[in-house]
Amino acid sequence: MHDTALSLIELGAVFFGLGILGRLAWKIGISPIPLYLIGGLAFGTGGLIPLHGIEPFAHLASEIGVVLLLLLLGLEYSASELVTGLRRSWLAGLVDIVLNAAPGVVVALLLGWGPIGALTMAGVTYISSSGIVAKVLGDLGRLGNRETPVILSILVFEDLAMAVYLPILTAVLAGVTFMGGLTAVGISLVVITIVLVIALRFGRYVSALVDSPNPEVFLLRLLGAALLVAGIASEMQVSAAVGAFLLGIAISGSTATNATRILEPLRDLFAAMFFVVFGLNTDPLAVPPVLGFALLLALATSATKIATGWIAAKMQGVGKLGRARAGAALVARGEFSIVIAGLAVASGAVTGDLAALATTYVLLMAILGPVAARFVEPVARRFVRQRATADLGKARA
């Protein structure tokens, strides 16, 4: 069969299959991310029917998927909201780093992956999935709840922490010297500062630059700007994903609203390819040996994220039910964890087992997160009622 024909057939089958998996995920009420990863595992290295005709397109599409994921996340925030959220959440954010990075470090060292593996797994277990969290809050009608600003503040802190962490990780994976790593971090911080200043003071000009009343022109300008910024950021040793995130922050007002609406279908398409590609590059036979560690990590980091949300919400005076909801909402891991593991595996600086562990872990957490968020309230209410009944019984006695 002709190479082009084979590629089209394989790509069509992948897209159609993703549509079926997405529909199934919607029916059972979970994020489609774990199903996309499973689909990639089934048709990748060591899978049922390896697909090799789509590799060049799939790789580029996955990179665009990461850019669009972070661009749309940036569009959700204004620069002033970021600054305000950072001021309010910095202490809870530090607690978040300590509690949730530590389990990844411990497991990596136990598996003998060394300092680089430990640094990588720290990021994998640390950051919540903003995409899954936002979708769950919307689905459950909790966007107006009192604890929701606390959750968003934690997510903002994590995103900014990633803007520092990713250049460090990239430098370490590339074997850059200590001074080179410091230079990369310095460049990252300078770029972040410049973009935030531009967004605060000149955001309307950035918005005007990409805006257009014509949807086609608007899409071309927006997508072109995102890819340009991502490419330049990557060349400057700042993550392409972080570059796209910062561009999203700089776009504000009605332009940001229109950009979100017009880019969402593209994001969903290319992001799906990103998760599939990660699964394609993971051998299913490598999953069983790390399943125990993945389960251990899932249980440990579910508890630490719940503790993080509880502490953060308590600092803002939120009640016990709100604290429980905040903690459960933060449980899910997803796109960023896969991005981090993908960077490490692509560099060749870590063992391939890390990809298997990360994939298995994200599979578990992408399922546990929405489930925990959905059922935490009735469980917490029952617990509160039991405690109240017990306290009443003691008072009467």
pLDDT tens per residue, range 94-105: 999 999 999 999
Mean pLDDT of 257-262: 88
Mean pLDDT of 84-92: 76
CATH class of 13-49+56-388: mainly alpha
Residue 220: pLDDT band by 50, 70, 90 thresholds?
Answer: very high
| C-alpha span between 121 and 142 (Å, rounded) | 31
Torsion of CA 64, 69, 72, 74, to 10 degrees: -110
CB 276, CB 14: distance < 8 Å: yes
Query: What letters, b where the CB count within 10 A reaches 16 and e where it falls short, cover 162-186?
Result: bbebbbbbbbbbeebeeeebeebbe
User: What is residue 121's predicted lDDT score, i.e. its pLDDT?
Assistant: 92
Which of the residue ranges 88-102, 115-129, 272-286 would you say has the lowest mean pLDDT?
272-286
Domain residue ranges of the chain, discontinuous segments joined by +: 13-49+56-388
Q: Specify whether the backbone of 114 is left (phi greater than 0), alpha (psi in -120 to 50) or beta.
A: left
DSSP 331: -
| C-alpha span between 85 and 80 (Å, rounded) | 8
Residue 179: pLDDT band by 50, 70, 90 thresholds?
Answer: low
Mean pLDDT of 110-121: 89
pLDDT at 1 over 60: no
Which of the residue ranges 106-110, 217-221, 327-331, 338-342 would you say has the lowest mean pLDDT?
338-342
pLDDT at 337 over 80: yes
Rounded to two decimals, the pTM is: 0.74
User: What is residue 389's predicted lDDT score, i.e. its pLDDT?
Assistant: 65
Lookup result for tokens 């430098």: 171
Which of the residue ranges 109-113, 114-118, 253-257, 295-299 would you say has the lowest mean pLDDT?
253-257
User: What is residue 297's predicted lDDT score, i.e. its pLDDT?
Assistant: 93
Q: What is the pLDDT of residues 341-366, one digit of tens each?
A: 877 877 776 766 888 888 889 888 88
Share of the chain above pLDDT 90, in %: 14
Residue-by-residue DSSP string for 279-319:
HHTS-GGGHHHHHHHHHHHHHHHHHHHHHHHHHHHHHTT--
Crossing angle of the two packed helices 253-280 and 335-347, in degrees rounded to 10: 50
User: What is residue 246's predicted lDDT score, i.e. its pLDDT?
Assistant: 77
3-state secondary structure of 193: helix
User: What is residue 366's predicted lDDT score, i.e. its pLDDT?
Assistant: 80
Mean pLDDT of 369-385: 76
User: What is residue 374's predicted lDDT score, i.e. its pLDDT?
Assistant: 81
Average pLDDT, the chain: 80
| C-alpha span between 32 and 23 (Å, rounded) | 8
3-state secondary structure of 327: helix
Q: Which residues have CB under 8 Å from 192's CB, separation 6+?
A: 160, 163, 242, 246
Share of the chain above pLDDT 70, in %: 83
User: What is residue 300's predicted lDDT score, i.e. its pLDDT?
Assistant: 95
